Amino acid sequence: MIDILAVFFGIILTFLIVVVIHELGHFFTARMVGVKPEIFSVGFGKPIWSRTDRHGIIWQVSRIPAGGYVRFIGDENAASLSSVADGPVIAGSLKAASKTAQAFIAIAGPLANVIFTVVALSVLPFMSGVTAYPWTVANVTHSSDVTGLRVGDQLVAVANEEITSQDTLGSLLSRLPSNSEVVYQIERDGVLRAEIAPRPDLPLIGNVADGSAAADAGLQPGDLLKTIDGEPVHAWSDLQRIVAASDGDPMTFIYDRNGSEMTAQIAPRQSDGSWLVGVGGLPLFTLATERPGIGEAVQSGVSRSWDLLTNLVTGLAGSLTGQNDSCDLDGPIQIASVAGQAIQLGPETFLLFLAIISLGLGVLNLLPVPILDGGHLMLLGYEGATGRPLGKKIQAVLFIGGVTVIVFLMLTATVNDLTC
């Protein structure tokens, strides 16, 4: 019951935050350029709650939680079809505004989502901190007798790879040799010394998902993987690679538990198009963190947002052109499930989830589909190129086509949630 409540609360909160941010972008930009909003709606359909403010603007929550809209004076519907169609010019309407102002209003919603993502990813370092330099061991998750590392050790180099202030753990791991143990150059009590210890990403199990293949086979947190079907497992990436190529065939896992060698037969199971056994890793150690400066945090937020945007656009292009597996397209069920998990994992994880969803909403709304902001930009571009607006009948046809495309994508994604 708790999980269901988390999913429900998580998706509703996500919907409210992300959609309201998007529509507020349109709303405030419109008021800036002299276009008067008439209705601000969260959701479509018949309102279940509404109020009118002192400016005569109706604020409402509607029955169908599939988006939201701002309707301006002179619009016939939520898609603002009459904004560029033939008809009288009404003061304060979109049609009364310049084409530049109309385009500014259209793009302001997606832009608001992008800005929110940058802000959220800039706030996250203040919540979780950034890795302090020099790297200092804050906690050793494996036995210190085995690792040779202690809390307070400053890491200078690992396997002759010097650690710089620009390094991340991921960049370091990418440079390490494929060995189960490496040499750590550390500074302890002001003295440089070398210690032989496992890799930072040793295949140590941190958690086992309930009902997973690993749980059914008896694996437990603290187990250290040694081989899979006779192939050595030096790092967590080795486990992921071997399992991903398994095609679900049973494999022999040999692992260490409190000094005793154990064996288990595990057949990976498919989830979201990937083969998994249901275990999470535990790093050899954690590093001390510190609060970043404002400039550093903003730089991190912009950089992470750009990486997310690049991956999102690449993935979306692959899905639309058929280059990606159709199962890569997640639907409302999967998104709701992730929202529930994110809100249970705490505010930092949920804020990261919101940032990703907000960016996704912004990018999707720029698609050239008439019901979306990209469609409005497309119509404005047509009028700018031809000198005349597209007719109302053609706009209506394009609107219906846009709705059909969106519904088709939603149905496809929902089917993926149920079958992939």
| Contact call for residues 372 and 88 (beta carbons, < 8 A) | no
**Does 10 share its domain with 123?**
yes
d(CA 166, CA 53): 51
Task: Provide the 8-state DSSP code for 367.
Answer: S
CA 181 to chain centre: 33
Tell whether 86 is covered by a domain: yes
Closest CA to 324 of 312, 339, 337: 312
- For 261-293, where are the alpha helices, taking DSSP H only? none
CATH assignment at residue 188:
2.30.42.10
**Does 148 share its domain with 86?**
no
Q: Which of 281, 296, 329 delimits the end of a domain? A: 281
User: How many domains are contained in the chain?
Assistant: 3
Tell whether 169 is covered by a domain: yes
Q: What angle do CA 136, 193, 148 make, to 5 degrees?
A: 65
**Does 41 share its domain with 145?**
no
The amino acid at 94: L
**Does 65 share its domain with 47?**
yes
**Does 138 share its domain with 171?**
yes
Tell whether 269 is covered by a domain: yes
Q: Which domain holds residue 154?
A: 131-198
**Does 155 share its domain with 173?**
yes
Q: Which of 264, 281, 298 delimits the end of a domain? A: 281
**Does 168 share its domain with 235?**
no
| Contact call for residues 379 and 103 (beta carbons, < 8 A) | no
Tell whether 148 is covered by a domain: yes
**Does 268 share its domain with 377?**
no
Exposed, middle or buried: residue 38 (CB in 10 Å: 0-12, 13-18, 19+)?
A: middle
Q: Which structure tokens are listed for 61?
A: 């929550």
Tell whether 29 is covered by a domain: yes
The residue count of the chain comes to 420
d(CA 359, CA 353): 10
Q: Which of 198, 224, 244 delimits the end of a domain? A: 198
d(CA 37, CA 345): 38
How do strand 181-188 and strand 154-158 relate by DSSP bridges?
A: antiparallel
Q: Cα separations (Å) of 166 from 122, 133, 172, 181, 285?
A: 18, 9, 10, 24, 19
pLDDT at 85: 45
Tell whether 190 is covered by a domain: yes
**Does 114 share its domain with 180?**
no
Closest CA to 152 of 141, 137, 165: 137
Tell whether 302 is covered by a domain: no
Q: Match 């919101």 to its residue by tokens.
A: 354
| Contact call for residues 1 and 20 (beta carbons, < 8 A) | no
3-state SS assignment for residue 82: helix
pLDDT at 232: 93
pLDDT at 75: 67
pLDDT at 108: 93
pLDDT at 83: 45
Q: Which residues contact 213 (CB under 8 A, 6 or more apart)?
A: 266, 267, 268, 269, 276, 277, 278
pLDDT at 229: 93
**Does 77 share its domain with 153?**
no
Q: How many CA atoms lie within 13 A of 28 on its CB side?
A: 9
Closest CA to 396 of 145, 86, 107, 50: 86
The H or E element containing residue 286 is strand 285-287
Tell whether 104 is covered by a domain: yes
The H or E element containing residue 330 is none
**Does 137 share its domain with 155?**
yes
Q: What is the DSSP string of 143-154?
A: -HHHH---TTPE
Closest CA to 239 of 249, 228, 224: 228
3-state SS assignment for residue 409: helix
Region label for 314, one of left (φ > 0), alpha (ψ between -120 and 50) or beta (otherwise): alpha
Question: Average pLDDT of each block of 10 consecutive residues along the chain (420 residues)?
Answer: 68 85 92 91 88 92 79 67 54 81 91 95 87 91 70 93 88 87 92 91 90 92 92 92 90 92 92 82 89 86 89 75 63 72 83 91 84 83 78 74 70 61
**Does 140 share its domain with 176?**
yes
